[in-house]
Amino acid sequence: MLLGVIADDFTGASDIANTIACGDGRSGGMITSQYMGIPSNPADPSVEAGVISLKTRSSPKDEAVAQSLQALRWLKAQGCEQIVFKYCSTFDSTAEGNIGPVAQALAAELGVGGVVVCPAFPRAGRTIYQGHLFVHDRLLNESGMQNHPLTPMTDADIRRWLSSQVEGPVGMVPLQTVRRGSEVLAQALVQGGQQLVVVDAVEDADLRLIGRACAGAPLVTGGSGVALGLPANFIRQGQVQGRSGNSFLGIEGPEAILAGSCSGATRGQIEQHAKRHPVLPISVDHVMAETIGVPQVLSFIMEHAGRAPLVYSSGTPEQVREAQGRYGREAVSATLDNLFATTAQAFLNNGGKRLVVAGGETSGAVAQALDLGEVMIGPEIDPGVPILISARRNAVLALKSGNFGQQDFFEKATRMLAGAPA
């Protein structure tokens, strides 16, 4: 294994695994496996890039740092020459969050400075200019992310936001320096002496330059886009041949869609899906009162097998705040995650084969509950969302970040999991 990734949630892990497996579209990608948690056994020798999925995005700093360092040590033991710390392309983290502390702990463990911080993902509309993160044409704090129920982002200045989390100054490399070339960029990363450096990127070409500048860098941090140019470095050095194509044939069988995200994108996808497919809304009040549970949800799914049934608990920011006010934020999140996770278990145990999950926290809870083990990366459904193939479960999945996917994502995903073309 040459390239190792530590991802702070399960959908983000799938996202960057997809980027590495596909490569930059020119020279090919790497043979990539995703691990649901830190493995206890050595990796298969054929794996060139390994992505460890953690569920630390909303964890206390000490817990997130400890798990990330444990993941780092396993990856180094597999021979990894470069480590990527992957977080969300909307930098989901409060001012007291753990992205900065984890990045600093990894840098200290590896003894490096001038570490890239770049959550840009242009294909999904996330760009960084003058250190500010945009979602399409809106500053991050005006994009809806300011209403996130767990990690509200109220400032688009990533350098300022990160500075509140770390010790010491945070550097910044502007776009005009990036576009002067990879050699100039590599020098700019270290000349200021800062441990962490925010780097602008507004196009895939910028990410390729960043990737080339990071050839040989022990640590890189960012969204999935930051890995776009990394496989090409190993290919140029003759360490890997470059993966191309995919032989995924799909799996037939019962399908289910579980959506726990409250993002605007997911709410729109639910509305679109409901026009042609059966949907079951889950009331927070009913779940908290235990008047609806796994038996009722599973019955709905199996009754509508073959019609892409969707079960969701997804409300407007106002509805989310009201529910959190009645029951407490942590209680609502934990109860809904448990319902979706145990439903997913029951679904696969009853012959389910195709599972789509929306929402980072929900996906993490489901993936942990299913004990998927190592999963292989299949074709891309939409930017940032690949098919995941679990040999242990003889099932296929798609784990979608709340903000990702086109309007018809749910219908398209269930078809592609069965082997249909995009």
Structural domain span for residue 202: 3-236
Last residue of a domain, one of 236, 266, 291: 236
| Residue 224 sits in the same domain as residue 259 | no
Record the tokens describing residue 176, joined without a space: 């005009």
Model pTM score: 0.83
| Residue 306 sits in the same domain as residue 180 | no
232 vs 384: CA distance, rounded Å: 19
In a domain, 114, yes or no: yes
In a domain, 366, yes or no: yes
Distant-in-sequence, close-in-space partners of 43: CB < 8 Å, separation ≥ 6: 1, 33, 50, 78
379 vs 122: CA distance, rounded Å: 20
In a domain, 219, yes or no: yes
How many whole angstroms from its chain centre is CA 24?
A: 18
In a domain, 322, yes or no: yes
Q: What is the per-residue pLDDT for 248?
A: 83
Ranges of the chain with pLDDT below 70? 149, 244-246, 317
| Residue 295 sits in the same domain as residue 206 | no
| Residue 99 sits in the same domain as residue 217 | yes
Which candidate, 131, 184, 177, 180, places its Cα nearest to that of 158?
A: 131
| Residue 148 sits in the same domain as residue 50 | yes
404 vs 422: CA distance, rounded Å: 16
| Residue 151 sits in the same domain as residue 78 | yes
In a domain, 174, yes or no: yes
146 vs 61: CA distance, rounded Å: 21
| Residue 259 sits in the same domain as residue 213 | no
258 vs 250: CA distance, rounded Å: 20
pLDDT per position as a tens digit, 190-213: 998 999 999 999 999 999 999 999
Last residue of a domain, one of 236, 267, 286: 236
User: If you write DSSP's letter for every residue of 331-380 in order, what string do you get?
Assistant: HHHHHHHHHHHHHHHHHHHTT--EEEEESHHHHHHHHHHHT--EEEEEEE
Q: How many domains does the chain have?
A: 2
Q: What is the per-residue pLDDT for 319?
A: 82
84 vs 222: CA distance, rounded Å: 8
We report the CATH number of the domain holding residue 188 as 3.40.50.10840
In a domain, 169, yes or no: yes
| Residue 48 sits in the same domain as residue 157 | yes
| Residue 78 sits in the same domain as residue 196 | yes
| Residue 230 sits in the same domain as residue 262 | no
In a domain, 78, yes or no: yes
| Residue 54 sits in the same domain as residue 150 | yes
Main-chain dihedrals φ then ψ at residue 85, nearest 5 degrees: -95, 115
Q: What is the per-residue pLDDT for 315?
A: 74
| Residue 221 sits in the same domain as residue 259 | no
In a domain, 247, yes or no: no
We report the CATH number of the domain holding residue 272 as 3.40.980.20
Record the tokens describing residue 127, joined without a space: 């760009």
Last residue of a domain, one of 207, 236, 265: 236
Q: What is the per-residue pLDDT for 86?
A: 97
Q: What is the per-residue pLDDT for 231?
A: 96
- Asked if 119 and 222 touch (Cβ cutoff 8 Å), the reply is yes
pLDDT per position as a tens digit, 78-137: 999 999 999 988 887 777 889 999 999 999 999 999 999 999 999 889 999 999 999 999
CA distances from 17 to 3, 291, 314, 369 (A): 11, 39, 27, 21
Record the tokens describing residue 337, joined without a space: 């995650």
**221-5-201 Cα angle (round to 5):** 30
Distant-in-sequence, close-in-space partners of 195: CB < 8 Å, separation ≥ 6: 104, 107, 113, 114, 115, 166, 168
Q: Looking at the DSSP assignment, which residues form a beta bridge with residue 155?
A: none
- Asked if 280 and 256 touch (Cβ cutoff 8 Å), the reply is no
